Structure formats: structure tokens, C-alpha cells
Structure 1
Amino acid sequence: MKLIYQQMLAFFTIIVLLLTLLGIFFFQLTKSLIYENAWNQLEGYAYSLKTDAMSETQTSKGKVIFSLDSEKLQNYELLLQNQEVHFTIYTSRNRVLYPQTMGFQSIISKKDWRKLKKGNIIRRKNDLSWKRGPGDFKEGDRQQQKMTDILAPCFDQQGDLVAVISVGAKVSSLEESFAKIQRSLIYMLLISAAIGVAISYLVAHYTTKRIRQLQRATRQVASGNFNIQIPNKDRDEIDDLANDFNSMTFSLKKSEKEIKRQEEQRRQFMADAAHEMRTPLTTINGLLEGLAYDAIPEESKAKSIELMRNETKRLIRLVNENLDYEKIRSGQILLKRQNFEAMHVLHNIQTQLRKKAQSAGDTLEVTGPNKLNVFADYDRFVQVIFNVTQNAIQFTQNGNIQISAEKGFESTIFRISDTGIGMTPEQLKNIWERYYKADASRKNSKYGESGLGLAIVQQLMQLHHGKVEVISHPDQGTTFTLIFPDEKLTNDKV
């Protein structure tokens, strides 16, 4: 079943249920109001009969005599008969005082009589009354009539019950009035149901129209069109869904661009890696063939072996950097952080890279306090400082490279500055990207084989919950700031 029909059925079911409940409520309320109004009217008639046509007189001996004004009673009887209202006056449960010849006689139970003696007015909704035929009381002449009536007690001055006035109307006349109102209510309910069906269709059509719009947009996204955007007015949950859909398409579009860019960099890296590997492999292969065929003079063999060792190390370094990056990116490296003395490490790195710096015409300096503790993984800390320093040497010719260290607020700060070629803002945004090289002319440089050094640095700093900041200007040099948080701050983040 389509959604529009499901929603229409749901709306229509709710409407019909509400209308049914309202109909039952109004029917019962109307019936109660009709009877309530009838009883109030009948009580008014009984009060008028009691005050106008009934009286008490006291004899000389002090005896109270209860009397009726027959003329007034007859006038009331004629008047009420036109309204199909009948009254009877009782002096006991089975004794009728008026009328004597013909009329309606209700059955009064002992329980009702006791209530009447207490002064209660009794209302009866659907009582069986007997209509007497003309002449004497004959059981066969009685006919049953359904009546709604009230029983009103009359007391003398001493508070004794002397009479009961029964005023009743035919139930059929009340039911006729109720039937008219009932028909009107049914017509109203049917009209309301028809309007409800129309409204439920419009609401369901409007909702499903917006859902179909989402469906069409989803199909376009599935076919590869990420430029689709759904207009919305932020009114309800469907508009919220449209907002989420627009955010999704924006993210997919952004991801698509990123994937294309990463793929382009991957292809570039594969070309660079193939070129980098081909050069040392060609060198090694040529030297091996020369050694195999004694084409290399004896005095040059040691130098050829040393060259092969360097080229082999270069290949190993290239492979290790790629493996290192993948392990860091996939979370396979578990850091063993501890507090250790950092200045000693910086001086060791200075010693290791001094020869490379000198070959580029650079001076490499280390400044800082005599002792400075840092909380980090020892091996990864060495790797971070080594990679950034080596990167500075790579892009600095006949300049100065300075490694400085200081204690910060709940952290240890290291700065590596150079006076090299620097970077443009566009290059600065991409230096953390895998395979990126700021200076394409140096991609075959001796120390810049893969373009993974800074990408590894960023990943390792994130694992340390640290920060890395870069300031650079073309032809003015670059400064890397590495901030390692202290043990307490790191534990709080974890």
C-alpha cells in the first residue's frame, strides 16, 4: 500500500474514531438534557397544581381537612392534555384522589413511597403507567403506556405526607424530539466525516509530495549528482530531514573532491615512489653487474659497495616511512609516554644531522635550558623532532637552522626555525597532506624521498594530544612550533 493511502487511512481512522466518540457523547448529553428539561417542566406543573388547586382548612375542632379545587384541576387537565402531559394525585400508594373517572395511574413502589415521605422528589425516565378506560376500574380495560414522570410529595402543616402529585409525559413524544436532534447530529457527523476525508487526503498528498521530492533527490545522488539541494522552510521533521539531506550532499560533494585530490596525490606519489625506487635500483643493478663482470677497477670496488649500501638504506627508508604512516593512521601504534630529559635528545639529533646540514651549507644550533623534561613516547618524540629538522635542512641552503626548547603552561614547547625558501599560504595549507611536497623541483632531493615526513609528524602530535603550528613566508624561512602537554593535562584528556 502506498504511503498516501496509509496516511489517509490513518487520518480517516482517527477522524472516524473521534467523530464516533463525539457522537456518542452528544447523543447521551442531548438525551440527558431532554429528560432534564422535561423533568424541570413537570416539576413546575406539579408546583403550580399544589399551590393553585390544593388547600388545607382547619375545622373548629382543630382537625385539618385536605381539599381540592375541582374547577382549577379540570382547567389544568385540559391545558396539559394539549401538551400530552397527564397528572394524577395520590393519597397512598394505591389510592387515587384525582381524577376519579379516567387517567394515568403510575406504579409507586414501597421504596419510592419511603423516599417521598422524606420529602424527596422522584424522577423516573421510563416508567410503565396504566391508562384506565371509562367507567369502573376493570383490570382488562387498562392499557400500558411508557411515561417519564416525576413524583412530588405534599405535606400538611404537621409535616405529614397527605398527597403525592404524579405528572408525566409520554416517552414517545420525548423520543420523537430526541430523534429529530439525533438526525441532525448524524447529518453533521456525516458532513464532518466527508470534510475529514478531504482534509486527510490533502494532508497526506502534501506530505507524500515532499517525500517524493526527497526520493527524486536521493535517486539523483545515487546516480552521482551531489549538487542537488532541497528547499525547505524549517517547519517540521520533514524539513529537518531535508536539512540533513542537504548536509549529506554537501559532505558527499566535499568528500568526492577530497577523494579525487587524494587519488591524484596517490598517483603522483606512486609515480614519485617508482621514480625514487628506480634510481637506486638501477644504480645497485649497474654496480652489481660491474662487479660480476669485473668491469669496476679494484680500487673503486669499496666505493661501489658503499654506494650500494647507501642506495639500499634509501630504499629501506622509503618503505619504512610508508609503513610507519599507515600504522599511525590506522591506530596500530601504541604510545609509551613517560617523562624524560629532552635537551639530551635534541643534542643527539643535532649530532646526527650536523653532517647533512653542513653539506647544505647550513648551521644547526640547539638552545634551551640545561635540563627540560617532556612527557612523550621517547622513540616517537625523536621521530617528530628529526623529521621536522630534516625538513628544514632540505629546504634551506647556506642558512641557519635553530632548535629551541622552553617550558610552557602545563606543556613543553619546541620550536624549529630555518631561514630557507619558506612557503606561500596555499603551500602552507597542504604541507600535512600525504605525499605532498611544497617544492616540486626538490622531489628527488636526497632527504625528501616520500613527502610523508610532515604527515607523520601531524599524526604523532595528535596521538600525543599535542599541537603543531607553522609560520612561514616565502624567502623568509619557516618556524614549526611543537607543543607537548604535561602528564596531568594528558591524563585529563584521556
Structure 2
Amino acid sequence: MERKKFSEPQLAESKVDELSRKLFEANERLRKSEAIRVKMLENISHDLRAPLTAIRSGIDLLSELIRKDKADSDELQRIVGLLESRASSMEALVQDLYYLTCLDNGKQQMEFKDVPLEQFLEEYFFEAEIDEKFSDKELVLKVSDEHETIVSIDVCRMTRVLDNLFTNAAKYSESGAEIELGIEKKDEGSVSFYVRDTGIGIPEERIENIFERTYKVSDARTPKGVTGSGLGLSIVKSIMEHHGGKVYCESRVGEGSKFVCVLPVKEKND
């Protein structure tokens, strides 16, 4: 079959059209990226305002008590405790934001190591059992040692994934609730592990947004006393993608959530 020949003007026009399309797509990516950045900064500004206001109020009250010479030890301890708590919230937010930025910019160098996934999960679980953060939760491990699954991971970063998922599960669960860690399935070329809780759950229409940096849990659904940067799940997503994997969530309101992490399996002959 004879191939259709194009004249030079036609070829030039075709190249211009292609360049225009690519330029438009690049511009759209930049626009969306900028919108995400602006929204994230708005959320961070909002999150910083509350602890800053509390710190300022605490300092004003402390100054007033000292000025009137009415400060007793119990009152001082209460105010100092408030200041420490709010300062910790601000510190956590700044640290998470810096960590996420470093991941994006490639400043967090990955140090991959071949490890048995079962052993890695078991070691984390035993550490979590003695962690005060989870002392009021029922921790459950469902990992079998019958078949060893080798994965190539940055141990520190993957530990951060588990930390964030466990902390998230504990945050939205009542005292005495279960947090389960296990290996779900092994497909050809990949393996899945999960963290499941029996907490408040997530509405179906919001699940696809929870890993976005602009996502905020509404105050109405946030348990009293819950604090955090709101960037924990974004960090999980970024780390999993740097490992060539992914993370997704299954959830029902009132029944709990299950976060599943998928990793490539390291073949024995690799």
C-alpha cells in the first residue's frame, strides 16, 4: 500500500500542532500543581493558626499571673502543658511538610535493601506493642512464616509508612479497638500488606481524596482531641510510589478502614 506523502508545509504544521498540544498539557500540569500548592498552604496556615493562638493566649495568661503574683504551681503546670502540646503540634506539621518536600525534590535518598517482608512486619509489630501511643488498642498480627517473601525496601521509609498508618488507625478508633497488621495476598510479581482498624470509617465519596495533600477531615468527623499535620497519608503515598508500589483504602462508615500497600516482589534470580 502506497504511503501518503506530506508536503513540507503540512509536516511543519503537524509538528506545530504536536508542540502546541504538549505545551498545553504541560501548562495544565503546572496549573494543577500550583492549585494543589496553594490549597496546601491554605490548610497549613489554618492548622498553624490554632496552636499559635493557644500559645499566645497561654503566654498572655502566664504573664498576667506573674505580674499579679498569683501564679501557683498547679496553674503554671497546666499552662506549660498547654504550650508544650501546641508547640508539638506545630513542630509535627513543619516536620511532615519538610519530609514531604524532600521526597518530592529527591533530597531523601532511598537506601534499598532486600528483606523478608514477614520478618519486617513482625519486628515492627512487636515494637508497636510496647509503644505508649497504642497502649489502649488491641493489636493483632496476621502474618505467616511459611513462605518467605523478599521485597526491596528502604527500611526507615517503610517503617514511616507503618508508623503513619498505625497512628492514623489509632487516632480514629476508640479505646480497646483493634488494629490489625497482616499480609493480604501475593500475586505474580507483587505482594500486599495492610493495616486495618475498626474506627469511624470514611464516606465512599471521600476515599479517593484522602491521599491528597489538600484533603482535610471535617471537624464534625474528627474525634475530640485528635491532632496532626494531615499530611501523613500523603507521605505514605509518596513513599510507596518511590518503591514502585501503591497504596489504596477500603472503608465503611462506622465499621472502620483498611489501608492496603502493594509492593513489587524481589525475584530470587534478580
* TM score, norm. by length of structure 1: 0.44
Cα contact 1:367–1:405 (8 A) shared by 2: yes
Cα contact 1:414–1:483 (8 A) shared by 2: yes
Tell me the distance in 2 between the aligned counterparts of 1:292 and 1:274. 26
Cα contact 2:197–2:256 (8 A) shared by 1: yes
| Aligned counterpart for 1:344 among listed residues 117, 123, 138 | 123
| Aligned counterpart for 2:181 among listed residues 392, 403, 406 | 403
* CA 443–323 in structure 1, closer or farther in 2 if over 3 Å, else same: farther
| Residue 420 (structure 1) aligned with residue 194 (structure 2) | no
Instruction: Kindly provide the amino acid, as one letter, of the partner of residue 213 in structure 2.
Output: R
Cα contact 2:194–2:260 (8 A) shared by 1: yes
2:134 matched residue in structure 1: 354
Tell me the distance in 2 between the aligned counterparts of 1:333 and 1:408. 29
| Aligned counterpart for 1:270 among listed residues 38, 45, 52 | 45
Cα contact 2:51–2:89 (8 A) shared by 1: no
Identity %: 21
1:285 matched residue in structure 2: 59
1:482 matched residue in structure 2: 261
Structure 2, gaps ≥5 residues long: 1-6
Deviation of 1:239 (Å): 3.0
1:437-452 → structure 2 map (5 Å cutoff): 437-441=216-220, 446-452=225-231
2:252 matched residue in structure 1: 473
| Residue 384 (structure 1) aligned with residue 161 (structure 2) | yes
Say which one has the larger Rg: 1
> Between Structure 1 and Structure 2, how many residues are aligned?
254
Tell me the distance in 2 between the aligned counterparts of 1:479 and 1:384. 14
| Aligned counterpart for 1:295 among listed residues 46, 70, 86 | 70
Cα contact 1:423–1:473 (8 A) shared by 2: yes
2:4 matched residue in structure 1: none
SS of corresponding position for 2:263: strand
| Aligned counterpart for 1:457 among listed residues 214, 228, 236 | 236
1:210-249 → structure 2 map (5 Å cutoff): 236-249=11-24
Instruction: Kindly provide the amino acid, as one letter, of the partner of residue 278 in structure 1.
Output: T
1:333 matched residue in structure 2: 108
Tell me the distance in 2 between the aligned counterparts of 1:488 and 1:425. 36
Deviation of 1:431 (Å): 1.6
CA deviations 1:408-442 (Å, max 9, x no partner) are 35555321112333334442222221142233445
Instruction: Kindly provide the amino acid, as one letter, of the partner of residue 333 in structure 1.
Output: Q
Deviation of 1:299 (Å): 4.1
1:229 matched residue in structure 2: none
Cα contact 2:51–2:86 (8 A) shared by 1: no
* TM score, norm. by length of structure 2: 0.75
* CA 419–309 in structure 1, closer or farther in 2 if over 3 Å, else same: same
Cα contact 1:419–1:477 (8 A) shared by 2: yes
Tell me the distance in 2 between the aligned counterparts of 1:485 and 1:251. 30
1:76 matched residue in structure 2: none
SS of corresponding position for 2:130: helix
* CA 367–439 in structure 1, closer or farther in 2 if over 3 Å, else same: farther
* CA 313–403 in structure 1, closer or farther in 2 if over 3 Å, else same: same
SS of corresponding position for 1:480: strand
Instruction: Kindly provide the amino acid, as one letter, of the partner of residue 380 in structure 1.
Output: R
Tell me the distance in 1 between the aligned counterparts of 2:267 and 2:197. 32
1:8-407 → structure 2 map (5 Å cutoff): 207=9, 236-253=11-28, 255-279=30-54, 281-282=55-56, 284-286=58-60, 288-289=62-63, 292-293=66-67, 294-338=69-113, 339=115, 341-342=119-120, 343-352=122-131, 353-355=133-135, 358=136, 363-369=138-144, 375-397=152-174, 399-405=177-183
Cα contact 1:337–1:375 (8 A) shared by 2: yes
CA deviations 1:176-199 (Å, max 9, x no partner) are xxxxxxxxxxxxxxxxxxxxxxxx
SS of corresponding position for 1:465: coil
* CA 289–349 in structure 1, closer or farther in 2 if over 3 Å, else same: farther
Tell me the distance in 2 between the aligned counterparts of 1:386 and 1:249. 40
CA deviations 1:152-189 (Å, max 9, x no partner) are xxxxxxxxxxxxxxxxxxxxxxxxxxxxxxxxxxxxxx
Cα contact 1:392–1:417 (8 A) shared by 2: yes
Instruction: Kindly provide the amino acid, as one letter, of the partner of residue 396 in structure 1.
Output: S
